[in-house]
Amino acid sequence: MYRLLTTMALYAFAALLLPCFTAAQTEAPLKRFAFSHPQMGTLFNISLYAADSTQARKAADAAKARIDEINNSMSDYMPTSELSKLSLTSGSKKAVTVSEPLWLVLSASQELAVQTKGAFDVTVGALSKVWRKAIRQKTMPAKSEISTARKSVGYKKMQLNAADKSVQLNAPNMQLDLGAIAKGYALDEALKAIEQHQVSRALIQGGGDLVAGDAPPGQPGWQIFAKWVTPQGQLRDTLLQVKRCAVATSGALYRFLESDGKRFSHIIDPRTGMGVTHAAMVSVQAPTAMQADALATAISVMGPRKGFAWLQKNYKAIPAIVTFQEKGKPVQLGKLRE
């Protein structure tokens, strides 16, 4: 979604570094391979180290297939997806048993909805459609459109039954939208698929999110190069070396509607029905990309200061960096960890 976060894998001076790493001396020499895969409205980029091109291709193909499977289940753009079919049952008083992956993502979403008192809410779909159209047409939505959509939004109207992993949507026209979390889940699953092919040194990016497996041979981590544009248009770079963690970025930089001097984002506050207007950029570093993705959006909804304070209180061990504008000046809170 955001093309700001780009990565550069370091071409290490292996000959110089190898003597420091005894494990590397016993391993077959690994080569770096790169693949890309368009899906979920973005481009997934896979970098990995494998013994040869056959192993690399098999691992990458498994990752691509897994990303496609998750999209087929969780896309709200595809009318045939499991998620869209579930949304169609809303208001019918029927509970529908869902697949294991969809259950896992919906349960994690619901847990965060409770924790954030509805700032993060995947039942936001009806409002997402209103704002997507508004952004596309560059026209503010009518108040009546927003109030109608709000009737179909609210995490308390989504009932999850753990006993049979079923979901009941208790208002008509509810539309689930996993746009804030499914990409992260897909990244985690893509890494697992790669690891099943005995490849552990991999980095996968999808839009502004990434997940890192083990570090490249002889290196402490994958070098990720985070580019930041402040609301004033200044470019900032953060260089990090990461392994076995995920970083997700959320923000309103590209997708917004300008009206009356305000920028209304595609990120919506479900409690008001309005696109958020603070234009903050939020990056969260977490053990899984699903968690990083969801938390980054949650902070975006709560607003930069409130959201960052909330994270520090509720997720002490999870680093985040938040950039925004306050009284005409760019402000940055927090930092990511190497």
Site residues (CB under 5 A) for Mg ion? 180, 250, 293, 296-297
Query: Among all residues, whose Cβ is closest to ligand AMP?
Result: 179
Of 145 and 177, which has the nearer Cβ to ligand AMP? 177
- Of residues 146, 150, 85, 86, the one with CA closest to residue 121: 150
Least distance to ligand AMP, CB of residue 89, Å: 20
**What tokens appear for 69 in the block?**
């499977």
249 within 8 A of 240, measured Cβ to Cβ:
no
64 binds, among Mg ion, ligand AMP, none (CB under 5 to 8 A by kind): none
Least distance to ligand AMP, CB of residue 283, Å: 11
113 within 8 A of 106, measured Cβ to Cβ:
no
Produce one character per residue of 1-35: b if its CB has 16 or more CB atoms within 10 Å, e if not: bbebbebebeebeeeeebeeeeebeeeeebeebeb
177 binds, among ligand AMP, Mg ion, none (CB under 5 to 8 A by kind): ligand AMP
Of 224 and 289, which has the nearer Cβ to ligand AMP? 289
Of 151 and 306, which has the nearer Cβ to Mg ion? 306
Of 70 and 267, which has the nearer Cβ to ligand AMP? 267
179 binds, among Mg ion, ligand AMP, none (CB under 5 to 8 A by kind): ligand AMP
Please state, as a whole number, how many other Cβ atoms lie within 10 Å of the Cβ of residue 172: 10
Least distance to Mg ion, CB of residue 136, Å: 21
9 within 8 A of 32, measured Cβ to Cβ:
yes
Of 30 and 289, which has the nearer Cβ to Mg ion? 289
* Composition of the chain by helix, strand, coil, percent to 5: 35, 30, 35
Least distance to ligand AMP, CB of residue 63, Å: 20
Of 55 and 265, which has the nearer Cβ to ligand AMP? 265
Least distance to ligand AMP, CB of residue 132, Å: 7
Site residues (CB under 6 A) for ligand AMP? 1, 120-122, 124, 128, 177, 179-180, 250, 266-268, 270, 293, 296-297, 300-301
112 binds, among Mg ion, ligand AMP, none (CB under 5 to 8 A by kind): none
Q: In angstroms, rounded to a whole number, what is the distance separating the alpha carbons of residues 124 and 109?
A: 12
